[in-house]
Chains A and B, each alone.
Chain A
């Protein structure tokens, strides 16, 4: 080996040194993050922003272990940030910050992976519907068997709301009277039905 023929420091001591330095860096970083999180719990928004920015590469790395597509990774990171924000009062400064953060990120990435798998499962069932775009004439699309199938899969309340307000074009008051659903519930059910169809038929999310 080259390190045997040349008495210069070989690659191994260098690596070991780097490992020690990395370890020290990581410890210092963990302590810094724990301090920032503690300050954030007391309302220090600068510490909080610094903390979140510094955490982003770690969050992306954790989410990337579960998800391949960069857009999904980014969504999982955003889910993590939202969860972290909502449960920031549960962090106990006497414990290390990184496992707390990593548990949230890993779980949100897993959740996104599961929802992705469910979405893909549905898309596979509806492959035949792929040619049906979201743009275009509503009545023409309603004639499509694929769309009928997708409508049939909706929960009953959403199907009724869609039928009355969009297909039979009733006013909300008429539809409410016919379906015995409140106007608010009708609006929500219609909106959800449209979102669901858009998603199922390959439209934007």
Chain B
């Protein structure tokens, strides 16, 4: 008589269907970036923006902060796609750390500039719910898309979800930066940072639920009791 494990092997092999091999993480990153850029452009045009948006933005926006946010978006996206594969090193999770530090440094430098220019009034934190709403409203649906794209992440679902959420939030943040009314850097840092943190938090919570499909039913991420 076969033992249960051997029976399982026979059951899995019986009627095996061909599968389409997953594209490489770099290809997935390119697809993800194209998708996010398209969504952000659509969202911006849906908001009825001026034709010369980009030219105006270039005058207003510190290009370094956009480059830093883009680096966060791309590197955390790549890290999520890499970590979703079983045989990749867990240190991929550290890939976006430098970019996040760079983004914070750029914003911190901006805050220091505001203080030098305007005194401590430059540090005032006005309420900016529109900005928060844009980042969360765009970031959460984008996070759902990257969770879907990494649904095979069976071994490290939480890291993958958090990094995917960070990438989605950073793309939403770039969109917001381009249309942001002139305001103190501290305000931008606070509301954008809060928006991105919320998106990463929601992404991680959703990831716990959504990516568990790739883990066995009796795994610790399962919703079964015990």
Question: Which chain A residues have a beta carbon within 8 Å of chain B's beta carbons?
Answer: 40-46, 48-49, 52-53, 56, 74-75, 77-79, 81-83, 85-93, 95, 99-100, 103-104, 107-108, 111, 114-115, 118-119, 158, 192-193, 195-196, 199-200
The 7 closest A-B CB pairs, nearest first, are A43-B18, A49-B13, A45-B16, A196-B225, A89-B19, A100-B87, A79-B216
Residues of chain B touching chain A, judged by Cβ–Cβ distance below 8 Å, are: 3-6, 8-10, 12-22, 24, 84-87, 152, 154-155, 214-220, 224-226
Report chain A residues within 8 Å CB of B224.
192, 195
Using known A-B contacts A86-B154, A87-B86, A90-B86, determine if residue A44 contacts B16 with beta carbons closer than 8 Å.
Answer: yes
Q: Which residue of B lies closest to A192 (CB)?
A: B225
Min CB distance, B215 to chain A, in Å?
A: 7
Contact of A45 with B9 in the complex, beta carbons under 8 Å? no
Contact present for A41 and B87 (CB under 8 Å): no
B5's contact among A42, A81, A83, by CB below 8 Å, is which?
A81
| B5 close to A104 (CB less than 8 A) | no
Q: A90-B152, A92-B21 are in contact. Are A196 and B226 (CB under 8 A)?
A: yes
Q: Which of A77, A85, A93 contacts B12 (CB 8 A)?
A: A85
Give, as a whole number of angstroms, the nearest-CB distance from A83 to chain B: 5
Q: Are B214 and A48 in contact (CB under 8 A)?
A: no
What distance in Å separates the Cβ of A11 from its nearest Cβ neighbour in chain B? 37
Contact B154 A79 (CB under 8 A): no
Please pick, from A44, A52, A118, the residue contacting B9 in the complex, using a CB distance under 8 A.
Answer: A52
Distance A195 CA – B223 CA, assembled complex (angstroms) = 13
B15/A104 in contact, CB under 8 A:
no
Additional A-B contacts beyond A81-B12, A107-B154 (10; CB < 8 A): A41-B21, A49-B13, A87-B214, A89-B21, A90-B86, A92-B22, A99-B87, A115-B220, A118-B220, A192-B225
Q: Which residues of B contact A53 (CB under 8 A)?
A: 6, 9
- Name A95's contact: one of B5, B16, B87 (CB within 8 Å): B87
- Give Cα A108–Cα B155 distance, bound, in whole angstroms: 8
Bound Cα distance from A192 to B226, whole angstroms: 9
| Residue in A44, A74, A85 whose beta carbon sits within 8 Å of that of B4 in the complex | A74
- Report chain A residues within 8 Å CB of B12: 48, 52, 81-82, 85
Bound-state CA distance A93–B5 (Å) is 26
B22 touches A90 (CB 8 A): yes
- A111 to B13: give the CA distance in the assembly, Å: 25
Residue of B9, B22, B218 touching A49 (CB-CB under 8 A): B9
A–B pairs, 16, beta carbons within 8 Å: A41-B18, A43-B17, A43-B19, A45-B16, A74-B5, A78-B216, A81-B12, A82-B216, A83-B215, A85-B12, A87-B86, A91-B21, A99-B87, A108-B219, A192-B224, A199-B225
